[in-house]
């Protein structure tokens, strides 16, 4: 049993602190400080095997990286991620009825589990979800009877013999084609998509409604949650995120701008306006301020792989909830508590509205989320240790171990510490992803994608 | 301070005060409370929130989450400011209580109106294809010119430039409005002059200031001139 535990730690890592040493592996994206708006990364997602890593950007493009097969000789590092496919997923549109431009920014990407040789993913902007098929072509037919190699048709009278075309290998070509377009179902801005464990349906959520789709059917979707008040003047709360349970195909959760999470069971009724469970932590009276509601607004909700827990991210903290306990989270981790005294300034410059995402590692033992100054944080649920790391080109030698960072909240700043006032609030890490099986993480700064791995020795 | 944020052009002291007060004013039992005036801090937060709200409402498609959170914060600030009847006298802003009150009163109305109309617009737009008529009716004259944007905004969206199917109907409607406004300008007594017509000019303004006698004289002259040009009609 002891041996098993050690092996488990070795493969899945015991988290931050001294157990794992995170090393720089790669960085993707432009080097210059002048960030092109279209290059701003808006979503990052590993596929189910971890072999593929997809990013979406503000320009509506999707870039997929593929991990190269491990070199058996060079076992000191895992395979690198190289560009596999790039395609334009969404284009800017104009809604003539409302005289509004629809942004092409990709809000979310979600991979479907692989069923055959091709890969499928869902990508969405504010209004439209698309199912993309990514397939490889590494051979082509040659030796047509009626066509020349360049495609020109031969004069039939010159054909004297018949032959059977054969497949010959060619340079690998990766093609992406849109297979389904799910449109016209959302009045408000889509913030989440989540594929059901039945692998046939998925949900899409906007500020006020959640719709259920079948992957094969594009002209119909079912509304399963609607929180729009009859009188819009009474609107005080919006939906911020939604996700299906990883194992129960009838269960999903959605979070709100007031810091609540509702768990719904689709078997109970067609319209899940009445929740089965309501998760909410009572407000701490000593921390009450005018900004209490804003900082309690949940920006992301993610189920653990096991399905027993869910994690929520609000402005200052990450909370782990046990699905069996609604009145408070079982664990709370402070991401950047030193910002609590700066809330007014952060309200002024709108940083308080930033939406940070969070993610689990493969074994649900460590959680990760981003912060400012290109810092990101990891919390080990078992050891209760946490670590702050920085995504920066300064440490860009492969296999360089990242140095832990520390922010000095007040008082005398120690050497190597950074004071709160020197933090760059324009450098925010909103999107992070963790490989489903290994200790490989993808961290997105404004326009660069960093890949870090644990030190393998 | 925090770098690269949107900064208002206020004094550093006020900003520092704002940052510093984030924690102390929560607890009224602290001695520091007696020194600095809470209403000034609340009112600066109020102003900031109103500013954000207006900025948000001016967007073609406001971020609903941002809007709702700002409005809720504004309501909280309003609620905390409301029960302040008299305030400790302050050097320059002796009118501060009045300002705060009037700001509350006017902003509250304007705020509710703006919020309500925007949100109503959002819901109207949703049902637009089903019920265009009621929307159009609301936008017709009867509203003071000053408050025009909210509901007429939806009408603007249906303007000819956007290529809406209801084009012809609306063109006709706009023509009607123009004509009626033009007519009311000429024939209404000066004292009842309403919104200025589209062809606003110095002549029109002067006409509005004429008294009834002068107006009658002018009309007689006009009628007389017309009578010279053509045979007098039955009604005149």
Closest CA in chain A for residue B3: A424
Between A238, A343, A345, which is nearest B5 by CB? A345
Q: Which residue has the higher pLDDT, B219 or B121?
A: B219
Up-side HSE of residue A263: CA atoms within 13 Å toward CB? 22
pLDDT of residue A274: 87
**pLDDT for residue A445:** 96
Q: What is the mean pLDDT of residues A328-356?
A: 97
What tens digit of pLDDT does each residue of B121-173 get? 555 545 443 333 333 333 334 333 433 334 333 333 333 444 444 444 444 44
User: Which one of B26, B63, B125 has the shortest CB-CB distance to A98?
Assistant: B125
Indicate yes or no: CB of B65 within 8 angstroms of CB of A233: no
For residue B234, which phi and psi values (nearest 5 degrees)? -65, -35
Q: At a CB cut-off of 8 Å and minimum separation 6, what does A313 contact?
A: A298, A299, A300, A301, A319, A335, A356, A357, A358, A369
Residues in chain B closer than 8 A to A99 (CB atoms): 60, 156-157, 162
How many structural domains does chain B have? 1
Contact A406/A418 with Cβ under 8 angstroms? yes
At A69, is the pLDDT very low, low, confident or very high (cuts 50, 70, 90)?
confident
Q: Do B61 and A98 touch (CB under 8 A)?
A: yes
Q: Is B69 on the interface with A (CB under 8 A)?
A: yes
CB B6 to CB A350 under 8 A? yes
Per-chain mean pLDDT for chain A: 92
- Say yes or no to pLDDT of A26 above 90: yes
CA-based nearest distance B87→chain A, Å: 21
Residue B220 or A420, more confident: A420
The beta-carbon neighbor of A99 closest among B1, B21, B157 is B157
Residue A405 confidence (pLDDT) above 50: yes
pLDDT at A352: 98
Is B72 within a domain?
Answer: yes
Question: Which single residue is written with the structure tokens 């550093």?
Answer: B12
Highest mean pLDDT: which of A191-195, B4-8, B9-13, B226-230?
A: A191-195
**Considering the domain boundaries, does residue B135 fall inside one?**
no
Among the listed residues A162, A170, A77, A179, the one whose alpha carbon sits nearest the alpha carbon of residue A118:
A179
Q: Do B123 and A232 touch (CB under 8 A)?
A: yes
Per-residue pLDDT at B214 exceeds 70: yes
Of A117-121, A360-364, A392-396, the least confident: A392-396
Tokens 């937060």 -> residue: B45
> What residues of A are in contact with residue B120 (Cβ under 8 Å)?
232-233
Position with higher pLDDT, A14 vs A290: A290
Spatial CB neighbours of B124, under 8 Å, sequence gap ≥ 6: B135, B154
Mean per-residue pLDDT for A69-83? 74
Residue B106 counted as domain residue: no
> Could you tell me which of B124, B160, B62 has the C-alpha nearest to residue A100?
B62
B13 close contact with A: CB closer than 8 A: no
What local confidence, expressed as pLDDT, does residue B230 receive? 53
Q: Is B9 on the interface with A (CB under 8 A)?
A: no
Average pLDDT over residues A26-32: 90
CA distance, residue A394 to nearest chain B CA (Å): 21
From the centroid of its chain, how far is CA A351? 20
Between chains, do A348 and B23 touch, taking CB under 8 Å as contact? no
Residues of B in contact with A238 (CB under 8 A): 64-65, 68
pLDDT at A427: 96
Q: Average the pLDDT over A35-59 and give the result.
A: 96
> In the predicted model, is pLDDT for residue A422 greater than 70?
yes
pLDDT score recorded for residue B195:
43
Of A368, A392, A440, A403, which Cα lies nearest the Cα of A78? A440
Cross-chain residue pair A348–B63, CB shorter than 8 Å: no
A392 is written with which tokens? 């920066």
Integer CA distances (angstroms), B119 to A211, A435, B68, B153, in order: 22, 42, 10, 12
Contacts of B30 (CB under 8 A, 6+ apart): B24
Residues of A in contact with B112 (CB under 8 A): 233
Q: Which tokens in the block code for residue A247?
A: 């194992």
Give the pLDDT confidence score for residue A271 in this predicted structure.
Answer: 87
Residue B20 C-alpha, separation from nearest chain A C-alpha, in angstroms: 8
Could you give the ipTM of this predicted complex? 0.90
* Residue B121 located in a structural domain: no
Q: What is the mean pLDDT of residues A35-54?
A: 96
Residue at B63 is within a domain: yes
pTM of the model: 0.72
* Residue at B60 is within a domain: yes
Indicate yes or no: CB of A97 within 8 angstroms of CB of B22: no
User: Residues of A with CB below 8 A from B156's CB?
Assistant: 99
Task: Of B14-28, B71-85, B133-147, give the lowest mean pLDDT range.
Answer: B133-147
B65 inside domain: yes
Chain B CB contacts of A341 below 8 Å: 19, 22-23
pLDDT at A97: 85
Q: Using a CB-CB distance cutoff of 8 angstroms, which residues of chain A are in contact with residue B72?
A: 236, 293
Q: What percentage of chain B has pLDDT greater than the value 70?
A: 22
**B164 part of a folded domain:** no
Q: Contact A293/B72, CB-based, under 8 Å?
A: yes
| C-alpha distance from B129 to closest chain A C-alpha (Å) | 9
Of A110-124, A397-411, B192-206, which range is least confident?
B192-206
CB of B16 less than 8 A from some CB of A? no
What is the arrangement of strands in the sheet containing A300-303, beginning at the earlier edge strand? Answer: A300-303, A309-313, A317-322, A331-334
Quick: pLDDT tens for A97-134: 888 899 999 999 999 999 999 999 999 999 999 999 99
Taking only Cα atoms into account, the Rg of chain A, rounded to an integer number of angstroms, comes to 24
Q: Which residues of chain A have a CB within 8 Å of the CB of B77?
A: 290
Q: Please judge whether B72 and A422 are an interchain contact, meaning their C-beta atoms are less than 8 angstroms apart.
A: no
Its domain, for residue B47, covers 43-80
What does pLDDT average to over chain B?
54
Long-range contacts of B48-54 (CB under 8 A, 24+ apart): B48/A347, B48/A348, B48/B8, B49/B73, B49/B74, B49/B77, B50/B74, B50/B103, B50/B107, B50/B111, B52/A350, B53/B111, B53/B114, B53/B115, B54/B114
Residue of chain B nearest A343, judged by CA positions? B22
| Residues of chain B contacting A207 with CB distance shorter than 8 Å | 64-65
B207's tokens: 């006409």
Asked whether residue B113 carries a pLDDT value surpassing 90, the answer given is: no
Note the helical H segments in B25-63.
32-35, 38-58
Range in B19-23, B59-63, B99-103 the model is least confident about: B99-103
Do B6 and A348 make contact, defined as CB atoms within 8 angstroms?
Answer: yes
Q: Is B59 on the interface with A (CB under 8 A)?
A: no
**Contact B65/A297, CB-based, under 8 Å?**
yes
Task: Please indicate whether, in this complex, the C-beta atoms of B122 and A232 are within 8 angstroms of each other.
Answer: yes
**Interface test mutation site (partner B, options A348, A418, A423, max chain B beta carbons within 10 A):** A348
Instruction: Say if residue A449's pLDDT is above 80.
Output: yes
């Amino acid at each position: 049993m002891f041996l098993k535990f050690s092996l488990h730690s070795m493969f899945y890592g015991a988290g931050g602190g001294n157990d794992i040493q995170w090393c720089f592996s790669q960085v993707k994206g432009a080097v210059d400080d002048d960030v092109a708006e279209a290059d701003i990364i808006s979503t990052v997602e590993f596929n189910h095997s971890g072999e593929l890593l997809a990013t979406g950007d503000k320009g509506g493009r999707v870039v997929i990286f593929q991990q190269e097969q491990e070199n058996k000789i060079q076992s000191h590092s895992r395979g690198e991620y190289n560009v596999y496919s790039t395609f334009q997923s969404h284009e800017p549109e104009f809604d003539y009825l409302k005289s509004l431009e629809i942004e092409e920014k990709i809000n979310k990407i979600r991979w479907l589990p692989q069923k055959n040789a091709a890969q499928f993913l869902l990508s969405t902007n504010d209004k439209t979800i698309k199912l993309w098929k990514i397939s490889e072509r590494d051979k082509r037919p040659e030796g047509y009877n009626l066509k020349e190699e360049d495609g020109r048709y031969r004069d039939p009278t010159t054909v004297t013999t018949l032959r059977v075309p054969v497949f010959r290998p060619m340079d690998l070509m990766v093609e992406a084609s849109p297979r389904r377009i799910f449109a016209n179902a959302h009045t408000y801005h889509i913030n989440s998509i989540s594929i059901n464990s039945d692998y046939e349906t998925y949900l899409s959520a906007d500020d006020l409604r959640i719709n259920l789709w079948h992957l094969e059917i594009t002209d119909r979707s079912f509304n399963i949650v609607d929180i729009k008040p009859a009188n819009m003047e009474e609107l005080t709360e919006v939906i911020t995120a939604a996700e299906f349970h990883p194992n129960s195909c009838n269960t999903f959760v959605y979070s709100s701008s007031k810091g609540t999470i509702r768990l719904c069971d689709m078997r109970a009724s067609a319209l899940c306006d009445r929740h089965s469970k309501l998760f909410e932590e009572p407000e701490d009276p000593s921390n009450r301020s005018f900004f209490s509601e804003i900082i309690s607004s949940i920006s992301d909700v993610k189920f653990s792989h096991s399905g027993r827990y869910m994690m929520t991210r609000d402005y200052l903290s990450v909370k782990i909830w046990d699905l069996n306990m609604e009145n408070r989270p079982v664990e709370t981790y402070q991401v950047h508590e030193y910002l609590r005294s700066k809330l007014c300034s952060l309200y002024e410059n709108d940083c308080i509205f930033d939406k940070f995402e969070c993610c689990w590692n493969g074994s649900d033992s460590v959680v990760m989320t981003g912060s400012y100054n290109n810092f990101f944080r990891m919390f080990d649920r078992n050891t209760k240790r946490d670590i702050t790391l920085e995504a920066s080109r300064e440490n860009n030698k492969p296999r360089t171990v990242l140095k832990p960072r520390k922010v000095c909240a007040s008082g005398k700043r120690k050497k190597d510490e950074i004071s709160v006032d020197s933090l760059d609030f324009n450098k925010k890490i909103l999107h992070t992803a963790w490989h489903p099986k290994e200790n490989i993480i993808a961290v997105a700064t404004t326009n660069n994608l960093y890949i870090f791995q644990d030190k393998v020795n | 301070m925090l770098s690269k944020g949107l900064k208002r052009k206020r004094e550093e002291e006020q900003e520092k005060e704002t940052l510093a007060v984030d924690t102390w004013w929560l607890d009224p039992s602290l001695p520091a409370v007696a020194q600095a005036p809470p209403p000034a801090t609340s009112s600066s937060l109020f102003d900031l929130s109103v500013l954000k709200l207006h900025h948000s409402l001016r967007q073609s498609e406001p971020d609903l989450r941002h809007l709702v959170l700002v409005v809720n914060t504004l309501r909280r600030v309003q609620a905390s400011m409301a029960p302040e009847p008299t305030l400790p006298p302050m050097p320059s802003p002796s009118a501060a209580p009045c300002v705060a009150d009037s700001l509350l009163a006017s902003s509250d109305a304007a705020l509710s109106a703006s919020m309500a109309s925007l949100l109503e617009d959002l819901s109207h737009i949703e049902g637009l294809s089903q019920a265009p008529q009621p929307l159009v009716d609301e936008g017709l004259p009867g509203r003071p010119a000053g408050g025009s944007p909210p509901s007429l905004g939806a009408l603007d969206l249906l303007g000819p430039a956007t290529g809406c199917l209801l084009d012809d109907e609306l063109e006709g409607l706009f023509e009607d409005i123009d004509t009626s406004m033009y007519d009311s300008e000429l024939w209404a007594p000066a004292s009842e002059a309403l919104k200025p017509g589209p062809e606003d000019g110095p002549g029109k303004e002067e006409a509005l200031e004429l008294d009834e006698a002068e107006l009658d004289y002018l009309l007689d002259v006009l009628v007389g001139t017309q009578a010279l040009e053509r045979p007098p009609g039955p009604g005149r």
